[in-house]
Chains A and B, each alone.
Chain A
Amino acid sequence: MIQVRLGGHGVDVEFQAASGITALFGAAGAGKTFILDAIAGFETPASGRIILDDEILFDAASRVNLPPRSRHCGYVARQWALFPHMSLHDNLLFPLAGLARLERHRRVKEMLERFALQEAAPRRPRDVSPVERLRATVARALIGEPKLLLVDEPAAGLDIALRAEWHGILRLVRDETSLPMLLAARDPETCFDLAANMLLLDAGRILQSGPPRQVLDQPVSVEAARLLGIRNLFPAEIVALDPGRNTSRLRLENFELTGPYLPGRLRGDRVWLCVEPGQLRAAPHDGAKPSLNQVPVRLERASEMPRAVRLEFAGGIVAEIARRDFEQRPKDNDNKEWMVEFPPHALRVLGCP
């Protein structure tokens, strides 16, 4: 259990985390690494208090500031930071300096087995595969039996295969130990895949926290939605609310849409409308009269994605449709006019602009 309250250096956060993975997510410079470094003791915050399992690691008021070596934190740095001049075996031995010889070797052997590193152990970090480097980094962070694992996720250098391995390693640690883990995540998928909780950070503040699914489904504000990479954010005005038919009417810049009833909102409220690109339906305009929530728009760009085609329309509307649907569209005319449908159930409304 870690309790953190931090201020200074452009950061002002307060949170706690129990066992399992808590992801810190935000744009670069949002303060993720600073928070991890402050907990590890590399940075000194201006104010606040950090408590790990009833031990005060840092308290600005009473001037407690334990050095990193006494904080019992494991730290996986973004740059991995395996000592390049030592073999993996010696890297694992490094944290055990205070223990008896036999105990040291027993622990190293155990850890090498657990992370399948026996083969690579006598080699130096640059001579082993990236997967082994990742495993060794995590093994070294765990071998001193920390009470908390801090993970600054490597941003670059993780290709798709390695990313899967990486998630596998983190999942293993999460499931085999009861450690609280703080993970500075670089993308929402990692949070979604691994974390029990996420903290959405923006400019040193927590915008939103909660289970990743909830955060991704219901961003509290337009800033939160932008950070999460949600496309299709439009300013809108509520022009009608009908609780009887459970509908609302929203006026956007160039058109009006029918949405679900919005409890707690008033007519005339200005809000942000948000739609997942995958939930929009799009088809070339065949000249038919638009039906409910269909809007004729001009296609500006179509880009291929691994499993879909992303269509960007005038007015900043982005839709993603299955590749097959895109390829089977009528090819007879080079029509740039499309019809986009906003299904009412897919419309979400966020705070005030």
Chain B
Amino acid sequence: MPLDWSPLWLSLRYAGWATLLASLVALPLAWILARRRFPGSAFLDAAATLPLVLPPAVLVYYLLAALGRWPLHFSWHAAVGVSAIYTLPLLLRMIRTSLAAVDRSFENAARVLGAGEWRTFGRVTLPLAWRGLLAALLAGFARAFADFGATAIVAGNAGTGWLLPIAATALAALYIGNRMWRGQVLA
């Protein structure tokens, strides 16, 4: 059987998009959670962490149930979206930790020296937190990459090609069913 690399490339691409999407949401949210106290911030924090402890299949089940009225179009984009949601809590946790680790005296120094909040974030907080942010992105990417359950339910193989974890699971199923030819399953 010739080695098929396409699931690997597809997974990389797909995990990359999911990580990017998730970090775009996670970064501002993590900053707010790390630096601002407002009514309900503790609740938001807990709610954002919850998906981390739910099994992916359960998470997606509830997600689908919540979207019940607007049925999800099983597509590549939906798969990325679901994976991003699945990755978000981990990213949020880690980004938040690394932002909170930046000593506030640096940020306050920037503010009193005339910098607004954006400049403070871009010139001081981000550069000081970049190691932690990089670690968060890698971990988020790994989670999106290795994820099977969530995506399998949403994406299946509906015209998207095979993602690596799904392909592996399918292959395992093939061995068990003693049907070595991929086409049999696809058909």
Contacts and interface: CB of A to CB of B under 8 A. Distances in A.
Interface of A: 37, 40-42, 67-69, 71, 73-75, 77-79, 81, 83-85, 94-95, 97-98, 140-141, 144
A182 to B, nearest CB: 13
Given A42-B112, A69-B114, A75-B112, 14 more contacts: A37-B108, A68-B108, A68-B111, A69-B112, A69-B115, A71-B112, A73-B112, A78-B105, A79-B103, A81-B108, A94-B110, A94-B123, A95-B114, A97-B119
B109 interface: yes
B61 interface: no
Given A69-B116, A77-B105, A97-B119, A83 B111 contact: no
B111 A81 contact: no
Contact of B124 (A71, A78, A79, A83): A83
B62 interface: no
In the complex, the 10 A-B pairs of residues with the closest C-beta atoms, listed nearest first? A95-B113, A68-B111, A81-B109, A81-B105, A75-B112, A68-B112, A77-B105, A79-B105, A69-B114, A85-B127
Interface string B102-136: 01011011111111100100011001100000000
A68 B124 CA distance: 16
Interface of B: 103, 105-106, 108-116, 119, 123-124, 127-128
Contact of B115 (A40, A97, A140): A97
Nearest to B114: A69
Contacts, number: 59
Given A83-B106, A85-B127, A97 B114 contact: yes
Contacts of A95: 113-114
B113 A140 contact: yes
A67 B109 CA distance: 13
Contacts of A42: 108, 111-112
Of the listed residues A42, A73, A140, the one surrounded by the most CB atoms of chain B closer than 10 A to its CB is: A42
A140 B109 CA distance: 10
A77 B105 CA distance: 7
A67 B115 CA distance: 10
B105 A74 contact: no
Contact of A84 (B114, B123, B128): B128
B49 to A, nearest CB: 29
Given A69-B115, A94-B113, A97-B114, A75 B123 contact: no
A75 B108 contact: yes
Given A94-B123, A97-B119, A144 B113 contact: yes
Contacts of A144: 113-114
A78 B128 CA distance: 19
A197 B113 CA distance: 27
B111 A67 contact: yes
A41 B111 CA distance: 9
A284 to B, nearest CB: 53
B106 A81 contact: yes
B106 A94 contact: no
Contacts of A37: 108
B129 to A, nearest CB: 10
Contacts of A75: 108-109, 112
Contacts of A74: 112
B112 A83 contact: no
Nearest to B119: A97
Nearest to A37: B108
